[in-house]
Amino acid sequence: AQRVTQPEKLLSVFKGAPVELKCNYSYSGSPELFWYVQYSRQRLQLLLRHISRESIKGFTADLNKGETSFHLKKPFAQEEDSAMYYCALMNSGGYQKVTFGTGTKLQVIP
C-alpha cells in the first residue's frame, strides 16, 4: 500500500524565514512525487514534481529514497506563499493511482 504523511497540519513562519514542509512516503517501488498548492479560493494546482528537478516560485524539493522523504523547501518565505500544500505520490505500476497527504497549511506572518 502507498501512503503519504505530512506530519504538520499548520506551519507558521515569519516573512523572510526559511520554510520546510515535511513529507514522508511509504511505497515499495519507485514512486513519482509531487507537491500541490491550493491558495485561498483557488483550485488545487501542481507546484513541482521530483522528476523535473525544477524550482518553482523559489521552492525546491529533493527526493531522498533512503529516508523516503520529499520535503518542500524555500530559503525565504513570502506572504504570498501562504496556502495549503499537499504532497502526493503516484505509483509506478500500470494503474497510476495518486495518493495525497493530509496537507500542511503554511502561514507566513508579515
| For the chain, the helix, strand and coil percentages under 3-state DSSP, each to the nearest 5 | 5, 45, 45
Distance CA 32, CA 64 (A): 12
Selection from 97, 84, 83, 91 nearest residue 27 by Cα = 91
Instruction: Kindly state whether residue 34 participates in binding other proteins, applying the rule CB under 8 A.
Output: yes
Q: Which of 13, 23, 37, 49 binds other proteins (CB under 8 A)?
A: 49
| 99 sits near other proteins (criterion: CB under 8 A) | yes
60 binds other proteins (CB under 8 A): no
Interface residues toward other proteins, by CB under 8 A: 34, 36, 43-46, 49, 51-52, 86, 88, 95-103
